[in-house]
Chains A and B, each alone.
Chain A
Amino acid sequence: MEILKDYRVHLLALLVVIMCEFIGKQAIWVITVYPMLYAMIIGGAISLPKLKILTNKNMHHASSVMIVTLMLLIAKLGVSVGPKINEIFNAKLALIFQEVGHFAGTILLGLPLAMMFGMGREAVGATYSVAREPNIAIVADKYGLDSPEGRGVMAMYVCGTLYGAIWMSILASIIARLDIIHPYALAMGAGIGSGSMMAASLAPISDLYPNIAGEIKAYATAANLMSSVLGIYIYILFSLPFASFLYNVLNRFRNKKSGAK
């Protein structure tokens, strides 16, 4: 019951929430910022070690509570699936194929960039997935966390925790405003397999299309569900080996190029 009794963390959370909801959402240029983003930034500022408001223990408690709050978030998203269950079954092929984009997209966009920056095998761990908890476990199991791959996945995990949600919200808001991709497809793109990143990217999309917000939530949740069911197997059998293979191919190319100079 230690976490429950940590009143300092809960009171601060309540204050931050009340403050952020009072401010409400604001539009800055094409980006809409939601109370959840200020909540994260204000919370982060409070937790700065220099201010000495929270101890390390308080922060670990906050992190455990976050996992619990995710259940409520997922429950809210989940109840949007039932009423749209028929639509979702009609889109089953799209739901299956878009997962290829989820699982290959990180590697295709991330790995070449990481290698251009001169990263070594760290690039494999860093780009094979969005680096949430299960992904750390998979790398730890195969390479160990002291390996370059392990350092890569840990570094990405920290980045995701720090600004993953903020970035996804900005990105989704810009892409949704371009109006080239249908909101249903965007919704599926938002079903990343990370609760907070999904919620952050979903908010601007459903806000732009209030009439079909129910469908948008349902598609995103179904995609997220697929990511979490298939995730662990695909990461082990496809993503990690593919990232490693692509690294070796690109590395040969990189070595040749630097050898020729």
Chain B
Amino acid sequence: MKILETIFLLILVAIIMAAGNSIGYQINFIDSLQALGMLVIISIIGFLISKLPLFKKLPVILWVSVVAAIMSSPIFPGHNMVVEITDQVSLLAICTPVLAYAGLAIGKDLALFKSISWRIIPVSLAVFSGTFIFAALIAQLTLHWEGII
């Protein structure tokens, strides 16, 4: 996707998220916009890094989370401010537009879904459950072993 269009889309979606955040979580719209503005900045930095020649090999999501982790950790001078501002937006308020757009795109996959055998449904539920349950169980054992829980 083009760089400029992605940046504009980030801003547009951020406004929708801020609206949801003030309606659903009683945070005033200006604070919500500020929080989203910070997340937009982080996303743009991560996105631009992912466009660099050597960094292209890894997904943009990875670079965004690395930038976010660095900007919120003590090695970054303004980390307190970053955390404080972004605390004003609820994770849930961000998820709603993500899945709203995902929902609006569902129609195009329905025809394909109808052509698939019903057997894939139980199998897919087992696959999604498997990755969550096995990882949680191993984490439980190793966290216990490391003395963290």
In Å, the complex CA distance between A91 and B141 comes to 12
Residue of A nearest to B9 (CB): A68
Give the A-B contact count at a CB cut-off of 8 A. 430
Interface of A is mostly: helix
Q: Which residues of A contact B30 (CB under 8 A)?
A: none
**Are the C-beta atoms of B131 and A10 separated by less than 8 Å?**
no
**Are the C-beta atoms of B100 and A43 separated by less than 8 Å?**
yes
Interface of B is mostly: helix
**Are the C-beta atoms of B110 and A49 separated by less than 8 Å?**
yes
**Are the C-beta atoms of A68 and B100 separated by less than 8 Å?**
no
Q: Which residues of A contact B106 (CB under 8 A)?
A: 40, 43-44, 47, 59, 161-162
Most-contacted residue by chain B among A35, A69, A73 (CB, 10 A)? A69
**Are the C-beta atoms of A162 and B113 separated by less than 8 Å?**
yes
Do A98 and B13 contact each other (CB < 8 Å), given the known contacts A49-B110, A83-B72, A171-B132? no
**Are the C-beta atoms of B132 and A168 separated by less than 8 Å?**
yes
Do A69 and B128 contact each other (CB < 8 Å), given the known contacts A91-B148, A202-B91? no
In Å, the complex CA distance between A227 and B43 comes to 20
A1 touches B (CB below 8 Å): yes
In Å, the complex CA distance between A91 and B97 comes to 32
Q: Mark A50-69, 1 if CB is under 8 A from B, else 0.
A: 00001010111011111111
Q: Mark B1-32, 1 if CB is under 8 A from A, else 0.
A: 11011101110111011011001100000000
**Are the C-beta atoms of B142 and A34 separated by less than 8 Å?**
no
Q: Which residues of B contact A201 (CB under 8 A)?
A: 132
**Are the C-beta atoms of A108 and B130 separated by less than 8 Å?**
yes
In Å, the complex CA distance between A79 and B91 comes to 11
Residue of A nearest to B50 (CB): A71
Q: Which residues of A contact B62 (CB under 8 A)?
A: 225, 228-229
Q: Which residues of A contact B54 (CB under 8 A)?
A: none
In Å, the complex CA distance between A73 and B100 comes to 13
A149 touches B (CB below 8 Å): no
A136 touches B (CB below 8 Å): no
In Å, the complex CA distance between A216 and B100 comes to 24
Q: Which residues of A contact B69 (CB under 8 A)?
A: 78-79, 81-82, 85, 221, 225
Most-contacted residue by chain B among A46, A94, A196, A225 (CB, 10 A)? A94
Residue of B nearest to A59 (CB): B108
Q: Which residues of B contact A223 (CB under 8 A)?
A: 135, 139
**Are the C-beta atoms of B79 and A82 separated by less than 8 Å?**
yes
Q: Mark A223-261, 1 if CB is under 8 A from B, else 0.
A: 111001100000000000000000000000000000000
**Are the C-beta atoms of A185 and B136 separated by less than 8 Å?**
yes
**Are the C-beta atoms of B124 and A126 separated by less than 8 Å?**
yes
Which residues of A pack against B, CB within 8 Å?
Answer: 1, 3-4, 9-10, 12-14, 16-18, 20-22, 24-25, 34-37, 39-49, 54, 56, 58-60, 62-83, 85, 87, 90-91, 93-95, 97-110, 113-114, 117-119, 123, 126-127, 130-131, 134, 154-156, 158-162, 164-165, 167-168, 171-172, 175, 181-182, 184-186, 188-192, 195-197, 199-203, 206, 217, 221, 223-225, 228-229
If A4-B9, A70-B61, A154-B112 are given as contacts, then 9 extra A-B residue pairs at C-beta distance below 8 Å, sorted by A number, are A59-B107, A79-B86, A82-B70, A94-B146, A99-B135, A102-B134, A130-B127, A167-B129, A184-B143
Which residues of B pack against A, CB within 8 Å?
Answer: 1-2, 4-6, 8-10, 12-14, 16-17, 19-20, 23-24, 36, 39-40, 42-43, 46-47, 58-62, 64-74, 76, 79, 82-83, 86, 89, 91-113, 116, 119-146, 148-149
7 A–B contacts from the bound complex (CB under 8 Å): A43-B99, A63-B102, A76-B68, A94-B145, A192-B131, A206-B91, A228-B65
